[in-house]
Amino acid sequence: MFKDFLKQQQSGLEALSTTGIIGLHLVSGPLVGFGIGYGLDAWLDTDPWGKLLFFLIGIVAGFFECVPGQPGNL
């Protein structure tokens, strides 16, 4: 009975950690992309195109970072 409880608790914690990592990737990718775009816009005076482009690249990178972490995916 106690082993079953520990097994359930461990699987719940694994699911929680996976969810946290997915959330972290979906937020950090666009933030890093926006930061890179902001720096490039300030340097090259191309406002707002660098921010927009790298923000979108960050969104795509965040989604691509989430896919390999899921069990059963390619």
Task: Give 18-69 pLDDT, tens digit per residue.
Answer: 788 888 989 999 999 999 999 999 999 999 999 999 999 999 999 988 876 5
pLDDT band at 11 (very low <50, low <70, confident <90, very high): confident
State the residue for tokens 């090259």. 44
Residue 5 confidence (pLDDT): 64
- DSSP code, position 70: S
pLDDT over threshold 60, residue 73: no
**What is the pLDDT, as a whole number, of residue 13?**
77
pLDDT at 53: 97
Q: In this structure, are residues 74 and 48 in contact, taking their beta carbons and an 8 Å threshold?
A: no
Look at the chain and count its residues: 74
Would you tell me the crossing angle of helices 2-44 and 49-66 to the nearest 10 degrees?
Answer: 160
Interatomic CA distance for residues 30 and 10, integer angstroms:
31
